[in-house]
Amino acid sequence: MISHNAADIAPSWREQLAEGARLIVPLEIGGHTRSLTLVRRGDVLHAEHWTYCGFVRDRGAAARTAPAVRLADGDVTVRWEDGAPSDTAGLDEALRGPRHELTTGLVVRGTFDFETLQVYAATTLPGFCRLAAPKRSTLVAQQDATAMLADGSLAYLTHRMVNDAPDPADRLTEFFIHAYGPASDELAERFAGCVRTWDQKVRESGYPPMTVHAAGTPDEQLPAGDVLDKPFARLVFQWPGRVPDGTPLLVVGGQRA
């Protein structure tokens, strides 16, 4: 069992597992941590159980700092927990321009569990990143937001209460996309489409089958699914509705391959 947030699956962890043995590791996926129970079958680790969690990050030789860029005089920070940073040219100017808002159409009642949405977006959205902003920010409504960046534009997921009520179970919350930049309309639609697909095909089914393969495993040897590449491992997620024809959908560090 690993007792700290891990950004990757070390090769030695897999090598030291006997066939059928289990590894429990709090793994970061796009910066969202989930405790995974992984069982070894041959050279592949299979996810058997997922738990929402949070631990202290790696330290020492395994420590990792996610690439980040500060924008709008430090009012917004974009970071990439997996993969290489995207080009942020033009975003300072975009953040000073108008904000495009688009409802996803997702309205939820009471306390709402959207933990699988975070992982779904992190593993299926090209240009996936995370945003951080101080409480005083007038640009970003979330202090820590799931986001995507492309074409000199930025979009992120947020929510607002549309019906308050004394009983929390009767409160209604609607999910929105906020976007900036010349391609804000397109990015907002793509992000909203991701949320709608998750709501229709994933929300009730929970976490997907997921396998962990050694880095360098050829694409043709991977099962069909969305692939998230890390330095030492290739993670394959088989989300419902994502592999209708069995063709691999490769996402490398949040970028479509």
> Residue ranges of the domains in the chain?
11-62+208-256, 68-202
Sheet holding 210-214, edge to edge: 22-29, 32-41, 44-52, 210-214, 233-237, 226-229, 249-252, 255-256
pLDDT at position 135: 86
Q: What is the pLDDT of residues 161-195, one digit of tens each?
A: 888 888 888 889 999 999 999 999 999 999 999 99
Give the pLDDT of the chain (257 residues) as one tens digit per residue: 677 788 899 999 999 999 999 999 999 999 999 999 999 999 999 999 999 987 777 666 666 788 999 999 889 999 999 988 889 999 999 999 999 999 999 998 887 778 899 999 999 999 999 999 998 888 888 889 999 999 999 999 999 888 888 888 888 999 999 999 999 999 999 999 999 999 999 999 999 999 999 999 999 999 999 999 999 999 999 999 886 544 545 554 444 44
On whether the CB atoms of residues 191 and 222 are closer than 8 A, the answer is no
CA distance 244 to 246: 6
What's the pLDDT tens digit per position in 45-63? 999 999 998 777 766 666 6
Closest CA to 194 of 175, 171, 211: 175
Tell me the C-alpha to C-alpha distance, in Å, between residue 192 and each of 59, 93, 148, 244.
36, 24, 11, 21
What secondary structure, in 3-state letters, does 207-248 show? CCCEEEEECCCCHHHCCCCEEEECCCEEEEECCCCCCCCCCC
Q: Environment class of residue 186 by beta-carbon count within 10 Å: exposed (0-12), middle (13-18) or buried (19+)? A: middle
Amino acid (one-letter) located at 26: P
Amino acid found at 140: V
